[in-house]
């Protein structure tokens, strides 16, 4: 059993297990190719911290998040993944990610991305 990870701090949040939440968090926070055991795990979201704050970054962030979560579809843990973005402040992007579990239950996740 995996301990639940807190997406805000990256620390363990207790004994409760939520493997889908952990999978989403790890795939978004890990740079693509940054884990030696699986070079396909991770996202390219870290590259956006060097990008200019423009409207095309919103589209890229959504695409990067959906690409990072694609393995959840392939291994059958999810039937659909969709990402949208909003701008809470300059230099910040908030990704709203909706994951439809195989059983039909919708899960919502938020992930902040810092932009230069």
Each residue of 20-59: pLDDT tens digit?
Answer: 888 899 899 999 999 888 888 999 999 999 888 888 999 9
CA atoms within 13 A on the CB side of 25: 16
Q: Is a pLDDT exceeding 60 seen at residue 116?
A: yes
Could you give the number of structural domains in the chain? Answer: 1
Q: Quick one: pLDDT at residue 102?
A: 86
Residue 34 lies in a domain: no
Residue 27 lies in a domain: no
Domain residue limits at 59: 46-114
What whole-number distance in Å separates Cα of residue 25 and Cα of residue 112? Answer: 11
pTM as predicted: 0.84
Q: Is a pLDDT exceeding 70 seen at residue 16?
A: no
Output the average pLDDT for the chain: 87
Each residue of 88-98: pLDDT tens digit?
Answer: 888 899 999 99
The band of 104, judged by pLDDT with boundaries at 50, 70 and 90, is: confident
Residue 5 lies in a domain: no
Residue 103 lies in a domain: yes
User: What average pLDDT does this structure show over 76-84?
Assistant: 94
Residue 32 lies in a domain: no
Sheet holding 92-101, edge to edge: 78-86, 92-101, 106-114
Residue 40 lies in a domain: no
Residue 101 lies in a domain: yes
């Amino acid at each position: 059993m995996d301990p639940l990870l807190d997406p805000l701090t990256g620390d363990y949040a207790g004994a409760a297990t939520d493997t889908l939440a952990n999978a989403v968090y790890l795939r978004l926070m890990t740079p693509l190719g940054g884990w030696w055991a699986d070079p396909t795990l991770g996202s390219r979201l870290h590259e956006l911290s060097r990008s200019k704050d423009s409207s095309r970054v919103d589209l890229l962030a959504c695409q990067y998040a959906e690409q990072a979560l694609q393995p959840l579809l392939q291994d059958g843990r999810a039937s659909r993944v969709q990402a949208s973005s909003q701008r809470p402040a300059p230099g910040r992007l908030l990704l709203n990610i909706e994951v439809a579990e195989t059983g039909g239950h919708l899960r919502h996740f938020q992930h902040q991305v810092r932009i230069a």
